[in-house]
Amino acid sequence: MSTAQDFIRYSLESPEAFWQEQADLIHWETPFTQVRDLSSPPFSRYYVGGRTNLCYNAVDRHAEERPDASALILVSGETGDEQVFTFSELQAHVEAVAALLSKQGVRRGETVLLYLPMIPEAVFAMLACARIGAIHCVVFGGFASGALADRIDDIKPKLILSADAGLRSGRVIDYRSLLNEALDTAKATVERVLIVNRGFLEDLQMQAPRDQDYAATLKATPQKHHPIEWLPSEAPSYVLHTSGTTGKPKGVQRDTGGHAVALCASMKYVYDGRPGETFWATSDIGWVVGHSYIVYGPLLRGMATLLYEGSPIHPDPGIWWRTIERHQPAVVFSSPTAMRLFQTQDPDHINQYDLSSIRRFFLAGEPLDEATARWTAEHVNPTIYDHCWQTETGWPMIAPLPGIEEHPLKWGSPSFNAYGYDLRIIDEETGEDRPDGEKGMLACRWPLPPGSMTTIWGDDERFKATYFRTYETGMHYLTFDYAIRDADGYFFLLGRSDDVINVAGHRLGTREIEEAICAHSDIAEAAVVGASDPVKGQTPVAFVVPTRPVKEDSALVSELRTVVESELGAFARPSRLIIVDGLPKTRSGKVLRRALLSLVEGKDPGHLPTIDDPEVIAKIRTLMSE
């Protein structure tokens, strides 16, 4: 294809031929007989009749060709440890863990829950599950016991692999106690629990015969080699629960063949990753970024992947940049949240290191505001690639394609729809396409491309009811994001549909107000919620994190109100601007806006199992009561 737009057009106009060609990026033990089966909407099956294996494609085939090439690089900002595993060494570790799982009675199609910090054993276990055809479910390490119990009950794991503890900014997080509480609370019975003892707890609270020491059990496992289990393309590879939801968690289920092809293609076309290079996604394996672009994506492409344990600024704000200088990643994938954090630090922590290895620098996880993009371009890398995707899609649905061509980028836009995604801006009531420049719901015409979720674990009806709507214009997958598209086809995200407030009849995305506030040079980040108002229905309240110490009654507050009014109109002007040191976030960097709204309305935000720093809520509550 001559241009990115030609490539995208080909994928939408000739999807069978397009995905047939992309299938050549991976090994098929048994060739597929049908590219896709769309006989039962909204479900779709890709590469029907084919048999393959994620672990073989990610590890074994590269170990055969380049056994001494780097595959997995561990860097811990908490312990100072660094380890490098070649593809040959990675294969040996994964085979040993696969043999261990089989010895413990785990069989193809059964589930294994992983509750681990960012240590090599987590990667070994994910790949070992793929090797034997087991379905892994990774729960973010340090998740509260209630949330963990919900996930145990949902997938009913045959085995749980956990650790004594994790580390975060020098603090020990007691995984063992959290896991015990979850197991006591859960209705499901777990036959076996293996614990990686890192030596951070004096008492492991082992409960025989269920609990076993991981290292001792691994050493006692006689069979160190485990063959590949060749799986049908549609076989489930993993379940990952969406975070921040209420009620029963949704277990996003991914297949095997379509997942492997989609990730391999994205590494080539979106990230422009090349075999032999190093890729660093700064996320966690507990989130979808960690699944797609710490573990599977880079390894499928034959790249080394960097696994980082710790926070971005511990033991000091230079740790990430020293890591880049030392290990030379060619492609880095991080988040706007992390870049805003670095904006509050001395830029010398970045400037003193050589970052010239970075060929591509990507940001995602939330809309990238122009101010953050410009700061990152100035201090980290001159070319910043914004892109957008979801846990449900598994790989980017809006993205530039530097692996095909360099095309113009626009501040505030993750570019245009990726190949395979027929994205539209629709009226959510009628399904009709909205004109360019007008706000609507971001939706994708069915079918979704390979690599997207295939269903919700154990609940096909919920999958259909939650994500799909059928209009006269056809069936659509709803992203629940509001957006606009300009005349050039570039998308601009305006916030989640549940982040829309109605101020005196004006429907306004909170993201629009946040963008206006963050355009001010003295603001690092902001979060806006819609508080109930007896006259206007709702009124915006803004929580603002400045780059320098200020008081709430300072001139800056007045300036920000004026900026919002000039950008969006008087109706968007926040009724209150609250200066805070930080915002409550999940460990993946998502702002807990519902918790902020509870504080504004004088309610208890309740139990927040996903929050990174609970003290932030206490500080804001104190501020608001003063």
In this prediction, residue 301 carries a pLDDT of 98
pLDDT in tens, 194-217: 999 999 999 888 998 999 999 999
CB 490 within 8 A of CB 306: no
Query: Helices (DSSP H) in 174-318: which residue ranges?
Result: 175-185, 214-220, 257-269, 288-290, 297-300
Would you state the structure tokens that stand for residue 473, as one six-digit string? 């214009």
pLDDT in tens, 150-203: 999 999 999 999 999 999 889 999 999 999 999 999 999 999 999 999 999 998
| pLDDT of 247 higher than 60 | no
CB 515 within 8 A of CB 564: no
DSSP state string for 347-377: THHHHTS--TT-SEEEE-SS---HHHHHHHH
CA distance 397 to 187: 37
Would you state the structure tokens that stand for residue 389, as one six-digit string? 């995707």
For the 506-625 domain, the top CATH level (class) is alpha beta
In this prediction, residue 507 carries a pLDDT of 62
Band the pLDDT of 246: cuts 50, 70, 90. very low
CATH fold of 4-311+387-464 reads Rossmann fold (3.40.50)
Band the pLDDT of 386: cuts 50, 70, 90. very high
DSSP E strand stretches across 282-429: 304-309, 331-334, 360-363, 384-386, 423-426
pLDDT in tens, 573-586: 899 999 998 899 87
CA distance 451 to 392: 9
CB 69 within 8 A of CB 303: no
Tell me the sheet residues that pair with 541: 529, 576
Angle between helices 593-600 and 615-625 (to 10 degrees): 30
For residues 242 and 115, the model is more confident at 115
Contacts of 246 (CB under 8 A, 6+ apart): none
Please tell me whether residue 171 adopts helix, strand or coil conformation: strand
| pLDDT of 626 higher than 70 | no
For residues 383 and 617, the model is more confident at 383
pLDDT in tens, 312-365: 999 999 999 999 999 999 999 999 889 988 988 999 999 999 999 999 999 998
Pairing of strands 468-471, 474-485: antiparallel
Domain locations in the chain as residue ranges: 4-311+387-464, 506-625
pLDDT in tens, 393-430: 999 999 999 999 999 999 889 999 999 999 999 998 89
Average model confidence (pLDDT) for the chain? Answer: 92
pTM as predicted = 0.87
How crowded is residue 626: how many other Cβ atoms within 10 Å of its Cβ? Answer: 5
DSSP state string for 139-165: --TT--HHHHHHHHHHH--SEEEEESE
Mean pLDDT of 238-251: 73
Please tell me whether residue 109 adopts helix, strand or coil conformation: coil
Band the pLDDT of 244: cuts 50, 70, 90. very low
Would you state the structure tokens that stand for residue 594, as one six-digit string? 């519902």
In this prediction, residue 610 carries a pLDDT of 65
> Quick check: do 4-311+387-464 and 506-625 share a fold?
no
Q: What are phi and psi of 372, to 5 degrees?
A: -65, -40
Place of tokens 């599977």: 296
Angle between helices 15-22 and 257-269 (to 10 degrees): 90
pLDDT in tens, 426-474: 998 899 999 999 999 999 999 999 999 999 999 999 999 999 999 999 9
Look at 178-182, 264-268, 302-306 and tell me which has the smallest mean pLDDT. Answer: 178-182
Place of tokens 């496992």: 221
Place of tokens 């990774």: 138
DSSP state string for 498-548: GGEEEETTEEEEHHHHHHHHHTSTTEEEEEEEEEEETTTEEEEEEEEEESS
- How far, CA to CA in Å, does 483 sit from each of 94, 113, 263, 565, 566? 43, 36, 25, 21, 21
Band the pLDDT of 245: cuts 50, 70, 90. very low
pLDDT in tens, 47-73: 999 999 999 999 999 999 999 999 999
